[in-house]
Structure 1
């Protein structure tokens, strides 16, 4: 298949397996959840009754005082330990490399089908000026875009840094959360070739 290039009569030939793939909602959901979970710290820690500071002395006699208790660190008392205390853990989920690449290809294909994938010759700007980038985005008629280049340009990053809802990624930094979070994905022809090599 062929992707149209904005401002050019000539398109760019791409593989149907990457940009014409059928959308698999379950797969994309699984990969997105796994990607977001991998970023969770999982450092929550609570104390059990054995880890609490304080005396373990029995505070009343066994019989004759109602309920039988040992010490005030029991979970039943205010200020006591937790019965099922949360401990540091990993939220990571295993996702095969093949699944991850298939999910990225499915997202790109869906964006292409809905006209939300725009291919341009270049996104380079002469100076890191926000005004210059705003002019380019206005000409492309895109909102909340994700700009994808072959290798991240510092000038482009600096120009986009002050714009809300505008993200810049190189091909290596492309992830499913960034792709599904953007209204439009603007990608250069060089980046398209690199993405195809990566996902093929």
Structure 2
């Protein structure tokens, strides 16, 4: 299949296996959730009644003092332990390499079908100026949340995008399913497309 290059009469020939795949919502959802869960720290921790700092001595006599209570470390008291205390754990989900690559192909194919994949010959800025990048993006009509993918993101481009809250710059190695799904438009250079194709083919 062929994809149109923005601002050029030429077309880019790409593989149907990578950019012409059928959309599978279940596959994309599973891979995106697994990717996000892998980034979770999982360090939440609370103390049970046996771990809180405090005496386990009976707080008052058994009879004549109202309610019958034991240790003040019980969950019903302020400063006591937590009933079902959270402990550090891993949220990692196993995703096969084949599934991950298939999901990436599915997302890229759907972006191409929805005209949310804009291919350009090259994309860079001459200096570290946010205003220069804003003007360049405005000419491409990329929406509020663009993702810029280049073969090797230059320092000028990365620093220019740093002050823009919804603009992301990635190289091909840093591409992931969550950033692709979350972008309004994905701006990719022709060289990056070829590199992606080599990676996913």
TM-score by length of 2: 0.92
- Across the aligned residues of Structure 1 and Structure 2, the Cα RMSD in angstroms comes to 1.6
2:88 is aligned to 88
**2:77 corresponding residue in structure 1:** 77
Residue segments in structure 2 that go unaligned for 5+ positions in a row: none
C-alpha distance after superposition, 1:146-173 (max 9, x if no partner) = 1000011111112222223211000010
CA–CA separation in structure 1 for the residues paired with 2:78 and 2:132: 60
Alignment of 1:149-188 (within 5 A): 149-188=150-189
2:8 matched to which residue of 1?
8
| Deviation for aligned residue 1:61 | 4.1
Change (3 A) 1:163 1:60: closer
In 1, distance between residues paired with 2:83 and 2:163?
48
1:49-60 mapped onto 2 (5 Å cutoff): 49-60=49-60
For 2:165 and 2:66, the matched residues in 1 are separated by 63
4+ runs deviating over 3 angstroms = 60-69
Q: Which moved more, 1:158-167 or 1:114-123?
A: 158-167
Once the two structures are superposed, residues 20-66 of structure 1 have per-residue CA deviations (whole angstroms, 9 ceiling, x without a partner) of 11111111111111111111111111111111111111233446666
Partner-residue secondary structure (3-state), 2:170: strand
Q: Separation in 2 of the partners of 1:64 and 1:196?
A: 79
Count residues in correspondence: 200
Output the CA distance in 1 between the equivalents of 2:114 and 2:19. 12
What does 1:34-183 align with in structure 2 at a 5 Å threshold?
Answer: 34-62=34-62, 68-143=68-143, 144-183=145-184
TM-score (norm 1): 0.93
